């Protein structure tokens, strides 16, 4: 199965989760994320705003704010095909709804890359080597190429999104750890996740 077919199949499976099951699995995945030293010791966390089929990051964002952390989210610049981290202080206002239901911040001050301690990354699938299958637009891979970004890379997903193997090339950036609703897996890809 090639990447395109794999993406379609995984998205279909994720959309079949009932609302209650999706919420329950999201809460457990966020609890696991919050329990990691990488999250607990971070001052600035960059985290994605979930699409309908992705792990809902709201519990982790609220926990971060309650503990005095700064939350940055990706602001996608469609014309130039890249994203920048911007600080947000609410999940209620200040977003436009874009392609596929993506909430894109319309305001918020940019966060310097070197200030980010942890980047929480979505994906359609992950494997046990830290490889990630995204949507195919390479926004995160391009973002991770920036030399000023030394943050720990953490995938956040449901256990169903952990698969045996993902085809990866030199442009694909592996994760340092993966958090699901069932486990936390550390990878030895850069030493930053330890």
Domains along the chain?
Answer: 3-186 (3.40.50.10420)
| Pair 179, 36: CB distance under 8 Å | yes
Q: What is the pLDDT of residue 189?
A: 63
Give the DSSP letter of residue 189.
Answer: S
> If you average pLDDT over every residue of the chain, what do you get?
90
pTM: 0.91
How many angstroms separate the CA atoms of 187 and 190, rounded?
Answer: 8
Q: What is the pLDDT of residue 99?
A: 74
Q: What is the pLDDT of residue 108?
A: 85
Q: What is the mean pLDDT of residues 98-124?
A: 91
């Amino acid at each position: 199965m090639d990447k395109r077919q794999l993406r379609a199949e995984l998205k279909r499976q994720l959309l079949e989760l009932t609302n209650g099951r999706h919420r329950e699995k999201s809460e457990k995945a966020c609890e696991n994320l919050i329990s990691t030293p990488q999250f607990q010791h971070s001052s600035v966390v960059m985290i994605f705003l979930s699409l309908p089929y992705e792990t809902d990051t709201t519990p982790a964002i609220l926990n971060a704010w309650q503990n005095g952390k700064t939350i940055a989210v990706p602001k996608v610049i469609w014309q130039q095909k890249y994203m920048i981290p911007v600080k947000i202080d609410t999940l209620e206002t200040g977003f436009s709804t874009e392609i596929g239901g993506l909430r894109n911040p319309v305001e918020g001050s940019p966060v310097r890359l070197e200030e980010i301690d942890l980047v929480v990354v979505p994906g359609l699938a992950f494997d046990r080597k830290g490889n990630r299958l995204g949507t195919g637009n390479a926004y995160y891979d391009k973002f991770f190429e920036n030399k000023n970004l030394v943050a720990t890379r953490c995938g956040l997903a449901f256990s169903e999104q952990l698969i045996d193997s993902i085809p990866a090339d030199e442009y694909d950036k592996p994760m340092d750890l993966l958090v699901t609703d069932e486990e936390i897996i550390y990878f030895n890809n850069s030493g930053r996740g330890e």
